Amino acid sequence: MLTTILRRTAMALLVAALSPAASATTFKVDPDAGRNQFTAIFDSAVGERITAVSSQVGCTLTVDEEKLEGSAKCSVPLAGIRVDNDDTKSDHFRQWATNKQVDPSACRIELELPAVKLPKPVEPGKAVTIDAKGTFTVCGRSRDDKGAESIHVTVTYVPAATPEEPRLLRIRAHVTGFDRERYGVSPKRTEGWLARVQQLADVVATEGTIDVSLFALDTGTGATP
């Protein structure tokens, strides 16, 4: 009898050891989908309103659906950003972002949200809002004080229509008071622009807003969150 109990106990422990541990769900934002949008607006009170846009936003979201928490990493290639749909302005923005130190094709604007906590479970079709902190880098440069930006996020869960289709998260995020100078995106740091810094001071705003609109797809089999 004791031998049988010990054998069964050992077998149960072996099965438990070999069973895969519960893992977090991964959602992906496809940079080639064409429907994900990055928009940065710098609106000077007495100068120009400059709008930088890109549809090449890529993200990876890791979500613990039981604990209602997760993290996210997103990026936009600098070369994929258009300013006012103008070639010259887009080139100038790339010069300011890289300070002419690196190839624009090697530069990215990146965002990391290391810890996001949902206030409640996400229900189908009902938006949940979150205020989080995220760190940006531009061509590898952090903010001058290594600090984070406040980000207001809205998440809406769209369940899969069929078992074969992935679940979807509709995500909108908004950042105010984004100071490009603090990330070194500036004519002051760019060769050939120093003589024009004073001229541009009142024309181009240093602070702006960033908005992203994303569709994140579940990469696994997906159970209801």
The whole-number average pLDDT for the span 26-53 is 93
Q: Does 8 reside within a domain?
A: no
What pLDDT score does 85 carry? 95
Q: Does 3 reside within a domain?
A: no
Q: Does 224 reside within a domain?
A: no
Q: Does 56 reside within a domain?
A: yes
What pLDDT score does 202 carry? 58
Domain that holds residue 158: 21-218
Structure tokens at 157: 């869960």
Structure tokens at 82: 């258009």
Q: Does 26 reside within a domain?
A: yes
What band does 6 get if pLDDT is binned at 50, 70 and 90? Answer: very low
What does pLDDT average to over the chain? 85
Count of domains forming the chain: 1
Q: Does 105 reside within a domain?
A: yes
Q: Does 225 reside within a domain?
A: no
Q: What is the pTM of this model?
A: 0.83
CATH code of the domain containing 118: 2.40.128.110
Cβ-proximal residues to 86 (8 Å cutoff; 6+ apart), any chain = none
Comparison of pLDDT for 1 and 43, the residue scoring more: 43
Summarize pLDDT for 65-75 with one digit per residue, the tens: 899 999 999 99
Summarize pLDDT for 93-144 with one digit per residue, the tens: 999 999 999 999 999 999 999 999 988 888 899 999 999 999 999 999 999 9
Q: Does 4 reside within a domain?
A: no
Q: Is the pLDDT of residue 222 over 80?
A: no
